[in-house]
Structure 1
Amino acid sequence: MAAKIPTWRAAADPDDLREYDAFGPWIAEVKDPADLPRRFSRWWPDLEGARYLLKVPRPIDRAKVHPGMDLYESVIAVFPDKVRVLRAGPTDVTSREAPRNDVVATILHTNLLVARWTLLLADGGALDVEYNAVSHPTIAEVDRYVLSHGPGDLKQPAAPVVTSSTAPPKYHFFGSLLLALNTGATERVQPIHVDEPGQSCLNERGRRRRSAGAMILASSEDLVIINRNRTVEPLFRRSNYAYNVTRVPFRRMTSFEIRRPEKTSPPSFTELVLTCHRTVITQAVLTSPDAVADLLAAHGVPSAR
């Protein structure tokens, strides 16, 4: 007995039906003009030839969509020399782009299924794309490509060999992230500084708290900072599933500084400050990141003091 095609499917536009059938929370690759969502179709001549061309879905429940809906909110196009992000607004599509060699760092933020990819730019600005964390492997691959050496990058001298200068993290969450970052990676990262969470400390108001923890890793090319999206835990402990992975190529840094506080008991936070032209990245740590300072100096990054 032949299956009966529902009336709504028979009446749908074939292109809309194809997009509807393929839709899900994942980021999808665009391989030809038919894959590009209708609102972005006029941009195809500018996007053709991108090294990575991806469409990012809207955060819509699959059960609530139907053929012909506006299902995708942005398109990412990564070329050998630039990154372009198209975003669909209420009435039109906006476009922003940046040369690859203007991207000085990236941040991968994750909080359960909510994720955000941020490109920090030399002029102090940023490009960001929100997506479902199910597509993290796809974004991680693009992230590595964007930060790799591109056109216009000067040849760097031989990088110092990175050896772990601290014990592996005891905190299971940090350990699992370290393993995930090194799985399948051509440039492995090693722990350089680990602030285990749960240590007694003072917050910026001088009140007693417990630290949220942080970990600083390094490869021969990049410094990687992992934190829990906050410095201290609240007084009444609540579940926290958020974390950030910030990756900064050594060649993009213009200076660094370690800002040490007055001695207190329990201790206050020291700040590691990385300057990349007009972008400033600050990470609070409880113990002095001397090994990080030594590594940055070995890579030729000047101290601001």
Structure 2
Amino acid sequence: MTEELGRLDNSLMAFMRYVPSHVAPILYRATYNDRQLPESEVMALMTLTHRGPLSPTSISRLLNMQKGSLTSVLKRLEKLGLIARRAHPADDRSHVVELSSEGVALAHRLKQRMERDLKALFETMALADRQAAATGLDLMAQHFRKLEEEKMAQARTAYAKSLNWYHAASPEDRKEYDAFGPWLTEVKSEADMPRRFRSLYSEYRDATYLIKVPRNADRRNLRPGMDLYEAVIAVDEAGVSLARLEETSIWTLKATWDDIAAICSFGDRLQGIWTLYLKDGNRPSISFNRVSSDLIEVVTDFVRSHLTDKAKASNADTDEFEFSDEDLFFGSTLLELRRREGGPFTPLHFEPQGQPCLDAQGNEAISTGVLMLDGGGELVIINRGDPCHPSGEAWFAGNDLFIPYNRITSCTVVGTPAPGSGQFYTLVIQLDQQTIEQPCLEDPKTVVATIWSRSLPKS
């Protein structure tokens, strides 16, 4: 390869040595009205001859000439009457340059003279050599043309990036982008439906709640026309439908009320996860930003109202628990539930956070606590996600799990840890093929008794 490039280098240098004295006078020598035309003017004339009408920008690019220099060339040719300007056929704000009748006549004379002079220059050269030379020049021209096209493609790409990406987008995409944020948004019309999900609109349009879920992405990295929404939730009188973007397709689920065993809403600072516990054991979920917690609560309560039998909360032999300042999470969650429902929730089992315990690997840890409530038609488990965490580690997670009594098929407590051992009991609740496990430091016997009285036949 190095040897070939060296030979090409030598050949080009040898050829270029003779261009000024033998080739340039033929290609670039011209007179008009006794005036010797400079090489730049001849090149502009011949470019218009071969390419037809062109914009000044195109001529500048083809001749590799600065726009300022080209402007002077075109003014001189126009003054001589060899070129004319006319409006651009596709852009009224621009113009194109074309040969005038005088310019066409001059170009024709130049072409005839060039052909005559080139024939004289090469007439003593063997035919085979002339053909080989022509082939070589054609190959070089093709290569240079390819390089120019690649250069132009790069320039177009750079120019496109430099455009104002917002104004370059369609009005529809700009409208969606303007309305985009981390919040959940109710879909009120087909135009509100994200483009990738629009084929589902006719199926979801009559839903009581039709909600689009935004991508968890930094707005600075998003642009109009991108997929700004990653999921859609549709809830109606028949059940819940979910649709979520996958890499190359849209995953969908349609769950009737009879398919759903329980519902859960998890939060950890701004991160939220809304999960359906299905009877077949699956747990499809949708992630969301908790700035929209109010809307998720409304939808969650709508789902709960279709899952539970209406019943009063028990007057079980449980006193109202006192929540310390350290357990404000549980106390405030209970108050919020009562506010949403407008009725009582009876505490069945409460374990404050911060108790010494052992994690699954037997390491010393601190419990995160749990509160279980009788909501009349459902058992409500409020926990902090994981049952324990290392001492000294801040913990912000919270989990609200709503289990309708009428969905429970069995209930048991696993484990008999010694008092003070720091080991957990496990409350196991079965809902057909769905299994829910809740670790407890104390025996949740009151919860088990309530479940048996509410949903399971007494043995």
TM-score, L = length of structure 2:
0.60
Runs of 4+ residues deviating >4 angstroms: 6-10, 156-160
Deviation at 1:82, TM superposition (A): 2.2
The question of 1:27 aligning with 2:184 is answered yes
Map of 1:161 onto structure 2: 314
The Cα shift of 1:159 comes to 4.7
Matched, 1:273 2:443: no
* CA displacement at 1:147 relative to structure 2: 2.3
**What is the aligned counterpart of 2:243 among 73, 80, 86?**
86
Residue 280 of structure 1 deviates from its aligned partner by 0.8
| Change in CA separation of 1:17 and 1:263 when aligned onto 2, cut-off 3 Å | same
Shift of residue 22, structure 1, vs aligned partner: 0.8
Structure 1 residue 70 displacement after superposition: 1.1
Distance 1:20 1:140 in 2: 26
Residues in 1 aligned to 2:345 and 2:199: alpha-carbon distance in whole angstroms: 42
Q: Taking CA–CA contacts closer than 8 Å with sequence separation of 6 or more, which of the two structures ends up with the larger relative contact order?
A: 1
* 1:202 has 2:358 as partner: yes
| Cα separation, partners in 2 of 1:208 and 1:88, compared to 1, 3 Å | closer
After superposition, the CA RMSD in angstroms is 2.3
Provide Cα deviations, 1:41-72, integer angstroms capped at 9, x if missing partner.
11111112111110000012233332212100
Q: Aligned partners of 1:262, 1:25: CA distance in 2, in Å?
A: 45
Within 2, Cα distance between the matches of 1:164 and 1:130?
38
Q: Mind listing any 5+ residue stretches in structure 2 that lack a counterpart?
A: 1-162
Q: Which residue of 2 aligns with 1:283?
A: 438
Change (3 A) 1:193 1:139: same
Quickly say closer, same or farther: Cα 1:133–1:52, change in 2 above 3 A.
same
The answer on whether the counterparts of 2:381 and 2:402 sit within 8 Å (CA) in structure 1 is yes
TM-score (norm 1): 0.88
Deviation at 1:257, TM superposition (A): 0.7
Q: Are 1:164 and 1:191, in contact at CA under 8 Å, matched by a contact in 2?
A: no
8 Å CA contact 2:349–2:371 kept in 1: the answer is yes
Match of 1:3 in 2: none
Given that 1:273 and 1:281 are in contact with CA atoms closer than 8 Å, whether structure 2 keeps it comes out as yes
Say which structure is richer in helix. 2
- Equivalent in 183, 186, 193 of residue 36 of structure 1: 193
Corresponding pairs, count: 294
Structure 1 residues 135 and 162: CA distance shift in structure 2, 3 A = farther
Residues 161 and 261 (structure 1 numbering): CA distance in 2 closer, same or farther, change over 3 Å? closer
Describe the shift of the 1:262–1:184 C-alpha distance in structure 2 as closer, same or farther (beyond 3 A): closer
Report percent identity of matched pairs: 35
Is contact 2:266–2:272 with CA below 8 Å preserved after alignment? Answer: yes
CA distance in 1, matches of 2:334, 2:417: 32
Residues 353 and 367, structure 2, Cα contact 8 Å, conserved in 1: yes
**What letter is aligned with 1:233?**
H
The answer to whether 1:263 aligns with 2:414 is: no
Q: CA, structure 1 residues 206+23, in 2 after alignment: closer, same or farther (shift >3 Å)?
A: closer
**Distance apart, 1:202 and its partner CA:** 3.3
1:211 aligns with 2:367: yes
Alignment partners' CA distance in 2, 1:302 and 1:137: 37
1:142 lines up with 2:295 in the alignment: no
Residue 230 of structure 1 is matched in structure 2 by: 386
Q: In the alignment, what sits opposite 1:298?
A: 453
Contact residue 105 and residue 121 of structure 1 kept, 8 A: yes
- Residues 158 and 226 of structure 1, relative CA distance in 2, 3 Å threshold: closer
**1:103 to 2:260 alignment:** yes
Paired AA for residue 194 in structure 2 = P
Counterpart-to-counterpart distance in 2, 1:55 and 1:115 = 15
The residue type paired with residue 450 of structure 2 is L
| Alpha-carbon spacing, 1:191–1:169, altered in 2? closer, same or farther (3 Å) | farther
Aligned: 1:74 with 2:238:
no
User: Quick check: 2:313–2:345 contact (8 Å CA) kept in 1?
Assistant: no
Q: Which amino acid aligns with 1:53?
A: L
CA gap of 1:59–1:162, structure 2 versus 1, over 3 A, is: farther
2:341 match: secondary structure: coil
Give, in whole Å, the separation in 2 of the partners of 1:157 and 1:47.
28
After the TM superposition, which of the residue ranges 208-217 and 113-122 deviates more from structure 2?
A: 208-217
Amino acid paired to 2:292: S
Structure 1 residues 164 and 217: CA distance shift in structure 2, 3 A: farther
In structure 2, do the counterparts of structure 1 residues 34 and 157 end up closer, same or farther at CA, with 3 Å as the change threshold? closer
1:32 to partner: Cα distance: 0.8
2:340 aligned with 1:184: yes
